Amino acid sequence: MRLSRYFLPVLKETPAEAQIVSHRLMLRAGMIKQMSAGIYAWLPLGFKMLRKIENIVHEEQIRAGHIPVLMPTLQSAELWRESGRYDGYGEEMLRMQDRHGRDMLFSPTAEEMFTDTFRSYVKSYKDLPLTIYQIQWKFRDEIRPRFGVMRGREFLMKDGYNFDLTKEDALHAYNRHLVSYLRTYERMGLQAIPMRAESGPIGGDNTHEFLVLAETGESGVFYDSEITDLKFGDREVDYDNVEQCQGVLEEFTSRYARTDDTHDQAAFEAQVPEERRREARGIEVGQIFYFGTKYSEPMGATVTDAEGNKVPVHMGSHGIGVSRLLGALIEANHDENGIIWPEGVTPFHVGIVNLKQGDAAADGACEDLYKALTAKGLEPLYDDRNERAGGKFATMDLIGLPWRITVGPRGLKNGVVELTSRRTGESEELTPELAVARVAEIYAGH
Amino acid sequence: MRLSRYFLPVLKETPAEAQIVSHRLMLRAGMIKQMSAGIYAWLPLGFKMLRKIENIVHEEQIRAGHIPVLMPTLQSAELWRESGRYDGYGEEMLRMQDRHGRDMLFSPTAEEMFTDTFRSYVKSYKDLPLTIYQIQWKFRDEIRPRFGVMRGREFLMKDGYNFDLTKEDALHAYNRHLVSYLRTYERMGLQAIPMRAESGPIGGDNTHEFLVLAETGESGVFYDSEITDLKFGDREVDYDNVEQCQGVLEEFTSRYARTDDTHDQAAFEAQVPEERRREARGIEVGQIFYFGTKYSEPMGATVTDAEGNKVPVHMGSHGIGVSRLLGALIEANHDENGIIWPEGVTPFHVGIVNLKQGDAAADGACEDLYKALTAKGLEPLYDDRNERAGGKFATMDLIGLPWRITVGPRGLKNGVVELTSRRTGESEELTPELAVARVAEIYAGH
């Protein structure tokens, strides 16, 4: 993309309303625009990132054997009356009537719609196990939306639902989700720690939240410091292998890690030696639940088992806050000049800064770099505007591309351009060909 | 994908409520499920197709230089009061109040949000031209939703908005959209004819609708038969070239082609020789508008021109009915046994039917085919269920994959499998290796 043809409305001033760094930087980098309280437009850079995160979540869910569908945002109130949640859900549910006076609502979560879909088609245990999921916009009418996309009212969420014959099978689905979530977050360069949580309005006994450590997190967290040494890494997991998935769960959840909702100081002190006890703050980026037959019983989602009996299926639901992940990524990856995207998830792979637009040698070298990078399957953002170098550097730092190639007449006389890491600030001079090869090599693993 | 692990709830019976073939086939093929009147869940096969169509629309818009963003589905009523459309829009607009009693609505279209976004950031003619677009769910509370996704209430639409300094520039944007739309539809194997249309609540003088001919179309259409010979083909278009885009517009719109809204029988007879006059029915799959300063003036979307004057920008908006395209594709591509997807847009590239599940040779050959096809970048759907051949063929015909490879013990003894075209029904016997090569060759151009 050439910046002169892009729409990247960066702001010089820090917006007064933004209290946390991710909100400030998303506004300043021209990623989002508030349209009303807690409701955002996703500008080109923000939309591009949202789509990248969405695609990673899709890829990891599909890898785990889960099947994507898409439910409508609006639904009739009937299903929620059937499950018994309509009256109790409270003011966070946005309710409305259509032109015929029928009660409708904007989906805050979708247990009812998925259970209804399941019961409409699946009748036999032979069609189990089944996990279907969606990535769709939800609405929760927060009384005080804040922190930008971290606690917005309209937000993009991945929500998946497993349907299993037995509790045992459903717990394997639970573990499978835990594994796929660990992979998903790590691929984005995030460490998200599974912590024992409370179930709230979804229901159920088994539930873990995934928290990214960040000073601005809304939750207090208490954990054993050994946990942050755990890495999922590039291990191969067979998602059908019950023991293997159970093993990952045990490895990642056996140490003490709880949010303030479930924290037990006595247990913390009993289980964790003092030097390993940590208190910090965290951002919730996902949650998994096993809730058994809470929805399948009242809604009649049953299958015939091998003995011919009709039994309600065992279910769980599993969510990742997709739009919120953008905020969490920035909270975890920034400095005083702006965002620093991890290589695993960046809007563009590399920025090209032309120090002297209009200089034939510099323009030509930039065009050549642009073509060579594109030919390698990389997506560069070329700042071809007629602006001063300082402004160009500031924009690149603000929007946080991990790598920048700087091209100027002086360097070109010596046959070199400059390759700079956004994270370390370190630069090296290279021929343009080597710079392209180097960037391609960096991204080869991503 | 292995069918035993997929969720493909095909129906044997034809659902009584479905009046047109696309609606019937989408229900029968397990693509959609009605959740309430005019509101559908997209089951795995339907979601997969929706995503494929969405991706083609994105690719062609980006090729034309248009920039993707995403607006929220919900918005405050304020912007619509500013443009003067809030009170007049009528009952199709779904209105609601949030917990603080603020008037909100589910976006039926987004001229106001895009104009507001533009005016918030763009101040100078130097930042023009600019076209931004989204693919997002819209809601229009149709009094009598029908025909499945063809006239649903919640629907996925691509809507793009151009912002230009002059009428002349905006008309180039109009032409650019026309060209990109022709490419988009043709890539999906659809012929959509641009027809002079009425502007309705969007406003403006210049507008064309794109119609796909189909007996079940809601619009009557009148056209010169020469039009259906026009092909966009694989011509290279420079979207910056004003004359070239204007030339395409003239080529595709100079002959008589109108919907019943704008039809003029006298003009039809005067302009078209009798033997070329056609009356038919069509499905509207897109519309482009130039409406000048209709929104920029009341909403103050101005830029400073080269002389330093503040002038309102010239705008247009341009839509493609993304979810509706699925219906149109099926109306144009089916037979009595089911859907026939064009190669350009099919959920899976090829089906593999194992005639004797459990037979070691057949199972092994199917697995090998699955791996070989996947290695070529193709996505097969392997029917590995323990079902009779007749049921497997019926399912493959119903869901409409363009090619099927049938594997059975008898053929394998002679070293062959059967490759069958869904469209022609013709089969040829080939070695498995040649079948893979043949399918790869078929899809090489797509």
Least confident of A246-255, B97-106, B201-210, B248-257: B201-210
Cβ of B91 within 8 Å of Cβ of A99? The answer is: yes
**Token pair listed for A223:** 């954990």
Residues of chain A in contact with residue B138, where contact means CB-CB under 8 angstroms, are none
Q: Do B143 and A33 touch (CB under 8 A)?
A: no
Nearest CB to A154: which of B67, B74, B116? B74
What are the beta bridge partners of residue A156?
A: A137
Which has more confidence, B261 or A348? A348
- Residues in B closer than 8 angstroms to A71, CB to CB, are 35, 41-42
Mean of the pLDDT values across residues A366-371? 98
Whether residue A200 is predicted with pLDDT greater than 90 in this model: the reply is: no
Q: Which of B30, B69, B74 has its CB closest to that of A47? A: B69
Give the closest-approach CA distance of A292 to chain B in angstroms: 21
Suggest the residue from B3, B8, B35 to mutate for an interface test with chain A (most A CBs closer than 10 A): B35
Task: Report d(CA B128, CA B303) in Å as an integer.
Answer: 9
Number of H helices, E strands in chain A: 13, 23
- In Å, how far are A317, A425, B191, B325, B347 from B253, measured between CA atoms? 52, 56, 14, 22, 33
B41 to chain A, minimum CA–CA distance in Å? 4
With beta carbons under 8 A apart, name residues in chain B contacting A120. 9, 33
CA-nearest residue to A139 within chain B is B74
> d(Cα B219, Cα B260) in Å, to the nearest integer?
7
- Statement: residue A284 has pLDDT above 80: yes
Q: What pLDDT score was predicted for residue B201?
A: 66
Please give the pLDDT value at position B16: 83
Centre a 10 Å sphere on the Cβ of residue B279 and count the other Cβ atoms it contains. Answer: 11
My answer on whether omega of the bond before A44 falls inside 30° of 0, hence cis, is no
Asked if A251 and A230 touch (Cβ cutoff 8 Å), the reply is yes
pLDDT, chain A, mean: 95
The C-alpha atoms of residue A445 and residue A168 are separated, in whole angstroms, by 36
Q: B199: which 2 tokens? A: 């502007």
CB-based burial, B165-202: b 16+ in 10 Å, e otherwise: beeebbbbbbbbbbbbbbbbbbbbbbbbbbbbbeeeeb
- Residues from chain A contacting residue B113 (CB–CB below 8 Å): 35, 41
**CB-closest option in A9, A69, A137 to B73:** A137
Check pLDDT > 70 for residue A201: no
Which of A41, A67, A143 lies nearest to residue B72, judging by beta carbons?
Answer: A41
Nearest chain A alpha carbon to B117 = A33
A42:B74 CB<8 A: no
Q: Looking at A58-164, which runs of residues are DSSP E strands?
A: 67-68, 74-76, 94-97, 103-106, 130-139, 154-164
Write out chain B residues lying below 8 Å of A28, CB-based: none
The confidence score (pLDDT) of residue B203 equals 63
How far apart CA B254 and CA B249 sit, in angstroms, is 8
Q: How far is B116 from chain A (nearest CA, A)?
A: 9
User: For residue range B364-407, what is the model confidence (pLDDT) as tens digits?
Assistant: 999 999 999 999 999 999 999 999 999 999 999 999 999 999 99
| B121 contacts on A by Cβ (under 8 Å) | 7, 9, 30
> Which of B30, B75, B99 is the closest to A141 by Cβ?
B99
pLDDT one-digit tens code per residue, A102-128: 999 999 999 999 999 999 999 999 999
At A204 the pLDDT is: 64
Q: What is the pLDDT of residues B179-204, one digit of tens each?
A: 999 999 999 999 999 998 876 666 66
| Contact check, Cβ <8 Å, B7/A130 | yes
Angle at A343 between CA A342 and CA A347, to 5 degrees: 85
pLDDT exceeds 70 at position A203: no
The pairing of beta strand B154-164 with beta strand B192-196: unpaired
Residue reference for tokens 């789509």 = A51
Query: Sheet containing A403-407: which strands, arranged edge to edge?
Result: A380-383, A350-354, A403-407, A417-421, A427-430
Mutual orientation of helices A360-375 and A432-443 as an angle, nearest 10°?
Answer: 30
Residue in chain B closest to A123 (alpha carbons) equals B9
Q: Which chain A residue's Cα is nearest to B9? A: A121
Test B41 with A71 for CB contact under 8 angstroms: yes
What DSSP state is assigned to residue A446? -
Closest chain B C-alpha to A333 CA, distance in angstroms: 23
Q: In this complex, do B48 and A67 lie within 8 Å of one another by their Cβ atoms?
A: no
- Domains along the sequence of chain B with CATH: 3-338 (3.30.930.10), 348-443 (3.40.50.800)
Region label for B325, one of left (φ > 0), alpha (ψ between -120 and 50) or beta (otherwise): alpha
| SS3 state of residue B383 | strand
CB atoms B122 and A72 under 8 Å: no
A99 and B143 within 8 Å at the Cβ level: the answer is yes
Instruction: Give the C-alpha distances (Å, rounded to integers) separating A105 from A33, A102, B399.
Output: 25, 10, 32
Taking an 8 Å cut-off on Cβ atoms, the answer to whether A44 and B69 are in contact is yes
> Measured between beta carbons, which residues in chain A are less than 8 angstroms from residue B94?
74, 96, 98
User: pLDDT averaged over chain B?
Assistant: 95
- The CA dihedral of B194, B198, B199, B204, to the nearest 10 degrees, is 90
Q: Cα(B396)–Cα(B401) distance, rounded to whole angstroms?
A: 7
Give chain A's length.
Answer: 446
pLDDT, tens digit (0-9, with 9 covering 90-100), for A223-262: 999 999 999 998 999 999 999 999 999 999 999 999 999 9
pLDDT band at A202 (very low <50, low <70, confident <90, very high): low
A198 pLDDT exceeds 80? no
Predicted local confidence at residue B62, as pLDDT: 98
Residue in chain B lying closest to A35 (CA): B75
Environment class of A12 (CB within 10 Å of its CB; exposed 0-12, middle 13-18, buried 19+): exposed
Q: Tell me the average pLDDT across A302-307.
A: 97
Tokens of A22: 């991710």
- List of residues 6+ apart from A219 with CB closer than 8 A: A209, A211, A259, A260, A261, A281, A282, A283, A284
Closest CA to A291 of A83, A57, A61, A75: A83
In sequence order, what are the residues at sequence separation of 6 or more whose Cβ sits closer than 8 angstroms to the Cβ of residue A357? A363, A384, A385, A386, A387
